[in-house]
């Protein structure tokens, strides 16, 4: 629809469908990862999913740029075809017992509105969801104005920005594919989340006081790599809250993340018009507060009987 549209209405409808579909895929894929993997392998599987998403975000723009040389609409026809291929692969590769559930044979289904919310809304889950909302707000605020910030403050060219983002993509894939499960096993999800918040805070503060391009690149890599580990760490932590509510939990996770992704850029962009340093100073404070909240989450998870194997 996006490729075929010749009016603003069809364009907006196609983007709405794309946004809804993307969030549904993200939610269900994480829920299925929790359902189909063992406790031992869960962090590794979620790390792989996050790496796949990150890899797509890295490779996709490059492929789109090449295809755009043929026609501006070619990348979108290609993306639509890729979506159909992904759907076929998913249906063919879906485990048999999951297919049976999708055909109406699911046992022990939880009613989301009546039982599901009551079942998961413990004190620790509310605190954790609050942390997700605050952190996604801060992360989106940082990411949305990054290219503008380094261009205005440090006079970075498009080539320098591209090199920085490519390096980040390489390091992020290494962290998520090869090291994420080891980091989770060594630190635990909540401690790894706390460390990532602190590293991202340090990186942003360093960026505010940087004086050279090398400092900017190093600080940027610290922040973005911390973000890329932080997301799957929080998602893995959420899988500890029962087996029957993974879809609901991940749905709320995605919803709160989406709210932060909408509000963060608006907030950061508005403050950047006043002074480019103000948004990052506030984001650094938000991320530091999020790191402190993890201590409360850790304490509550230890005493909450509904949290598995913490």
Using DSSP, state whether 278 is helix, strand or coil: helix
**Total residues found in the chain within this entry:** 310
Which helix (H) or strand (E) segment is 53 a member of? helix 42-67
In whole angstroms, what is the distance from residue 295 CA to residue 128 CA? 11
User: What is the predicted pLDDT for the residue at 193?
Assistant: 92
Structural domain spans, the chain: 8-303
Backbone angles phi and psi of 166, in degrees to 5: -65, -45
For residue 40, give the DSSP letter: T
User: What is the predicted pLDDT for the residue at 138?
Assistant: 84
DSSP notation for 181-216: HHHHHHH-HHHHHHHHHHHHHHHHHHHHH--SHHHH
- Determine the longest span between alpha carbons in the chain, in angstroms: 62
Which helix (H) or strand (E) segment is 269 a member of? helix 246-272
| CB-neighbour burial class of residue 215 (10 A; exposed 0-12, middle 13-18, buried 19+) | middle
In whole angstroms, what is the distance from residue 124 CA to residue 296 CA? 8
User: What is the predicted pLDDT for the residue at 109?
Assistant: 47
Written as tens digits, the pLDDT of the chain (310 aa) is 888 888 889 988 998 898 888 777 877 777 777 677 777 777 778 778 777 776 676 677 667 777 888 888 888 899 899 989 988 988 888 777 665 655 544 444 444 444 555 656 677 778 888 888 888 888 888 888 988 899 899 988 877 887 887 788 788 878 888 888 888 889 988 899 999 999 999 999 999 999 899 999 999 999 988 988 888 888 778 777 655 566 677 777 777 888 888 899 999 999 998 999 999 999 999 899 989 989 988 887 777 666 655 5
Asked whether the beta carbons of 266 and 225 are under 8 A apart, the reply is no
Q: Spell out the residues 6+ positions from residue 182 whose beta carbon is closer than 8 angstroms to its own.
A: none
Residue that has been written with the tokens 């994420």 in this structure:
180
- Fold observed for domain 8-303: Growth Hormone; Chain: A; (1.20.1250)
CB atoms within 10 A of CB 308: 12
């Amino acid at each position: 629809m996006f490729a075929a549209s010749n009016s603003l209405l069809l364009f907006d409808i196609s983007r709405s469908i794309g946004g809804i579909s993307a969030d549904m895929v993200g939610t269900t894929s994480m829920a299925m990862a929790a359902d189909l993997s063992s406790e031992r392998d869960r962090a590794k599987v979620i790390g792989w999913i996050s790496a796949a998403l990150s890899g797509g975000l890295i490779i996709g723009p490059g492929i789109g740029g090449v295809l755009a040389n043929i026609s501006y609409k070619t990348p979108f026809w290609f993306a639509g075809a890729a979506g159909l291929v992904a759907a076929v692969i998913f249906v063919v590769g879906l485990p048999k017992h999951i297919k049976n559930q999708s055909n109406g044979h699911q046992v022990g289904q939880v009613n989301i509105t009546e039982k599901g919310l009551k079942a998961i809304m413990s004190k620790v889950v509310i605190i954790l969801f609050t942390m997700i909302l605050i952190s996604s707000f801060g992360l989106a605020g940082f990411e949305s104005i990054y290219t503008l910030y380094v261009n205005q403050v440090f006079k970075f060219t498009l080539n320098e920005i591209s090199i920085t983002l490519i390096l980040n993509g390489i390091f992020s894939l290494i962290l998520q594919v090869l090291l994420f499960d080891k980091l989770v096993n060594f630190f635990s999800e909540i401690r790894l989340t706390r460390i990532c918040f602190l590293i991202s805070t340090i990186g942003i503060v360093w960026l505010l006081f940087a004086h050279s391009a090398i400092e900017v690149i190093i600080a940027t890599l610290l922040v973005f790599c911390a973000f890329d580990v932080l997301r799957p760490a929080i998602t893995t932590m959420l899988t500890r809250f029962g087996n029957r509510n993974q879809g609901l939990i991940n749905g709320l996770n995605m919803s709160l993340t989406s709210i932060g992704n909408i509000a963060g850029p608006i907030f950061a962009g508005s403050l950047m018009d006043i002074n480019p340093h103000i948004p990052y100073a506030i984001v650094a404070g938000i991320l530091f507060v999020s790191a402190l909240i993890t201590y409360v989450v850790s304490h509550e998870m230890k005493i909450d009987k509904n949290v598995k194997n913490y």
